[in-house]
Amino acid sequence: MVWLALLLALGTVLAIAYPLVRPRLRAAGPAPDPEASELAAAKESTYAAIKELEFDYRAGSLSQEDYRDLESRYKRKAAALLQVEDARHSEADRRAQIEAEIRRLRGVPAQPPKQRQAAPPATGRFCTQCGSPSDPTDRFCANCGHPLSKAGSKA
């Protein structure tokens, strides 16, 4: 029994000590970025809020005026979050370029800088009701509130 207890103690010490002595393999990937996860969480709540608003409006527990107002607030918030995200990405790109430059100056073979996927160009979409232009992701016309079909009511 004593041996078993000693074994438990030994196992515990090893488990606790292992992270301290193992080589830090950070090359496996960049450390997860805490800011990014906070942004993602904020984005998720905002999208969920927009989705629920739409439903409340459809189900009649929200007046059209309030729906418009709240929806535009949340959309502004979502847009602001996306802008922050973009700014962070371009910041990351700039850093990568500087890193590549330094490596070039030091004579290390250059790595191609990471390319971010560019967003697909916005398709020209227009509301079939009032003709005002709309975003490809919009489900309702921002001008008159007419539902936009999924395939896109392209003009």
Partner 1 sequence: MADLGYAALVIALAAAAFATVAPLVGLRWRLPALIDSGRSALWAAASLVSVAGLSLLYLLATRDFKTQYVYQYTSSDMSMLYTLAAFWAGNAGSLLFWAWTLGLCAVVMLIQNRNKNQALMPYVTAIVAVTMGFFVGMMVFVSNPFDQMVFPQAEGEGLNPLLENMGMFLHPPPQLLGYMAFTIPFAFAVAALATGRLGDEWIQSIRRWTIFAWLTLGVGILAGAQWAYVELGWGGYMGWDPVENAALMPWLVGTAFLHSIMVQRRRGMLKVWNMMLIIFTFNLSILGTLLTRSGILSSVHSFSQSGLGPLFVAFIAVAMTGSLALLYYRMPKLRAEHELDYWVSRESTFLVNNLVLVGIAFAVFWGTMFPIITEAVRGVKITVGPPFYNQVTGPLFLILLLVMGICPLIGWRHASKDNLVRNFLYPVAFGVAAGIILFLLGVRKPAATISFAVLAFVTAGILRDWSRAVRARRQMRAEGWLRAFLRLTGSNRPRYGGYIVHLSVVVMALGITGSMFYPLETTATLNPGETVSIGRYVLKFEGASEYQTQSKQVLASTLTVYTGGDYLGTVTPERYIHRNHDNPVTEVAIRSTLKEDLYVIYGGKNPDGTATFKFKVNPMVMWIWIGWGVMLLGSAVAFWPEMKRWTA
Contacts to partner 1 by CB under 8 A: 1-2, 4-5, 8-9, 11-12, 15-20, 24, 31-32, 34, 37-38, 41-42, 44-45, 47-49, 51-53, 55-56, 58-63, 65-66, 69-70, 147
Nearer to partner 1, 5 or 151 (CB): 5
**How far apart, in whole angstroms, are the C-alpha atoms of residue 14 and residue 26?**
21
Cα angle at 148 between 117 and 48, to 5 degrees? 65
CB of residue 126 to partner 1, shortest distance in Å: 21
End-to-end CA distance of the chain: 81
Amino acid identity of residue 83, one-letter, is Q
Nearer to partner 1, 69 or 101 (CB): 69
CB of residue 3 to partner 1, shortest distance in Å: 10
**How far apart, in whole angstroms, are the C-alpha atoms of residue 132 and residue 146?**
11
